Each structure stands twice: as C-alpha cells, then as structure tokens.
A = this chain, B = another copy of it.
Amino acid sequence: MRYCFGVDIGGTTVKMGLFEEDGNILDKWEIVTDTSEEGKNIIPNISASLEKKIEEHKLDKAEIIGVGVGVPAPVTSDGVVNGTANLGWGYKEVRKELEELTGLKAAIGNDANVAALGEMWKGGGAGERNMIMVTLGTGVGGGVIIDGKILVGENGAGGEIGHLCVNYEETDRCGCGNRGCLEQYASATGIVRLAKQKLGQEMRPTKLNKEDVTAKDVFDAVKAGDEVAKEIAVVFGRYLGYGLANLAAVADPSVFVIGGGVSKAGEVLIPYIKEPYMERAFFADKNVKFVLAELGNDAGICGAARLVMDA
C-alpha cells in the first residue's frame, strides 16, 4: 500500500488528510493558518505537521506518493502563486518550497479546482471525465475538469466561473469590479442581495425578513412553499442556469456538480437551475446531469491527494 497527503489551505485553518492510494482516508486533522509576516510560516508549519504524522503512523517516505495542496488563489501549472487575498503571500514558488522542506513530491492547485477533482474522484462526479463543479459559497468558485484533468489555464485562472457575465444590464458592481458576474446572483451573498431587492418591493406575506435574511432562509422558505422565496429562487436559478449553458458551450461536460454552502439546501435547487439551463443550452449539451456535491469540506483534501497522484 502507498500513501498520500492532501492539504487544503484556507484563510483560517489548513485542513489535512492522510490517504491510502485507493482513496481511503486514514487520518484527518487541521492546523491554524498563520497569516502573519506575509504568511511565511504557512508552508513550514504544513511541513512540520506532515513530519509529525509520518512519525505517528510509522510511515516510510518511500511509501508516500507525495503531497497535494489546494491554495485559495490562482496557481500556475508549475505550482507558482502570484498573490493571494487571504494568506499574505505575494509571488511564491509553493511547489518548490514544499518539496524542499518535505523531501516529498508536491503538486499545487487552486482550491476550487482541486475540490472539483476531489468530487470527480470520490464524490458527485465519480466515474466522469468531463465535469464542471460550481461552488456556491460566499462567492462562486468553480473547477472545470476536461478528460480527467483540471483546466488550469495560462495564469492558473481557468474555471473562474463566478466571473462569467450573465447579465449585461446589471448596474451594481461585483467585488471584482465588473458588472453582471454570476457571483452577484448565485453566491450566498448574491442570493441575499436578490432577496433584499425583492423584499424591498414586496407587498405579499412571506416568511422572509428583509432586515435579516440568509441564503438558507430563502431555500427553507422555498421548501415551505413561500411564493416570494420561490420567485427569488427563480431569479437565482435563471442566472446560474444561463451561466452554466455558456460554460457547456465551451467545455461540453457530462455532469455539473453543485457544491458549497448554498448547495446544502439540497435537491430543491436542481430544478431551479436545470430549467433555465435547458432553455439556453446548445443542443449537443442538453444531456448533461446535475448532481449535488457529496464530499462537503473533505472535497479539498481529497482532490489535493488526487492531484499529486496524477502528477
């Protein structure tokens, strides 16, 4: 049996896992992300934590395939990061640094892309080769998998699907500076924005409270039959479905995997997304499946492990 580490670096914690080659998770733990001093301790801390686990599990380094890492930033195919929003890093040769510290092979990817790879290996996209994962969290992230490989792109910015423009008439700005990005409608924040717009001009009774509404509230109310909430879900689903139709025209996937916090609403989401998708999709792309992500917070460590196994 050979082993592999998967590491998912976030702004507050680093999630880590020890895997057997077949995907079985032997151990799972977290360390704090030390973003002080431009994040210079993050990789040394990861390395030290791995060394401790190697000792604890009495592993021989020769049995270890390597360390895969997901990073919350674009990552080039050489494992280089050119700046991060949350870790303090500027230009950083992550792969090189980690390989030198651990003596293990390393492979680095963008966290959303790596999570997509995880879902393809062991989750909602298992058995597929052409998959798009959409992560509906605070923002909208994504990962495009083509013939089993992450679409990395020239600058490591492949699969930035939160910033597809889905509404050329939008007047509000997205955090990225553009107007009409998918993220403005389909993220948890975007759903709250849509809800507040709707509730501000709504006279009908509704379970939703316009002062204090969350994406979860909206879908809970949808499940309870609230008409106002359903209309918010229709707008959310229309922009997401239209965006996915454009994605399909480029990437021609067999499956869309819907993940992130918003996806905890469950199967109720799917028809709201699928119907506008079918209305707009190119005919060759209409047979695509829509499924929910299955790995939750483990998608990142799983995909990271897979990434280094494929490297």
Which residues in A have some Cβ–Cβ distance to B below 8 Å?
Answer: 74, 77, 129-130, 144, 146-147, 149, 151-161, 163-169, 176-178, 242, 245-247, 249-254, 280, 282-285, 287-288
Decide: A158 and B252 in contact? CB cutoff 8 A: yes
Beyond A153-B251, A178-B280, 15 extra complex contacts between A and B, CB < 8 Å: A74-B284, A77-B147, A146-B151, A151-B151, A151-B250, A151-B252, A152-B252, A155-B287, A157-B252, A158-B250, A158-B251, A163-B249, A165-B242, A169-B169, A247-B250
Complex Cα distance A159/B147, Å? Answer: 14
Partner of A154, one of B77, B130, B152, B168: B130
A237 CB to closest chain B CB (Å) equals 14
The A interface, classified by DSSP as helix, strand, loop or mixed, is loop
Contacts of A151 in B (CB 8 A): 146, 151, 250-252
Contacts of A130 in B (CB 8 A): 153-154
Partner of A155, one of B163, B250, B284: B284
Partner of A282, one of B167, B178, B247, B284: B178
User: 18 A-B Cβ contacts within 8 A?
Assistant: A153-B252, A154-B253, A155-B252, A155-B287, A156-B284, A157-B282, A160-B284, A163-B282, A164-B246, A165-B245, A165-B280, A166-B168, A167-B168, A168-B242, A176-B282, A176-B283, A177-B283, A178-B282
Complex Cα distance A149/B284, Å? Answer: 21
Decide: A157 and B285 in contact? CB cutoff 8 A: yes
A86 CB to closest chain B CB (Å) equals 16
Top 10 nearest A-B pairs (CB, nearest first) are A153-B252, A157-B284, A154-B254, A130-B154, A158-B252, A157-B252, A163-B282, A160-B249, A163-B249, A250-B250
Complex Cα distance A283/B178, Å? Answer: 9
Contacts of A144 in B (CB 8 A): 250
A263 CB to closest chain B CB (Å) equals 20
Contacts of A165 in B (CB 8 A): 242, 245-246, 280
Contacts of A285 in B (CB 8 A): 155, 157, 160
Contacts of A129 in B (CB 8 A): 154
A132 CB to closest chain B CB (Å) equals 9
- Which residue of B has the minimal Cβ distance to A238? B168
The answer to whether A253 and B283 touch (CB under 8 A), given A242-B168, A246-B164, is no
A53 CB to closest chain B CB (Å) equals 33
Complex Cα distance A60/B280, Å? Answer: 51
Contacts of A166 in B (CB 8 A): 168
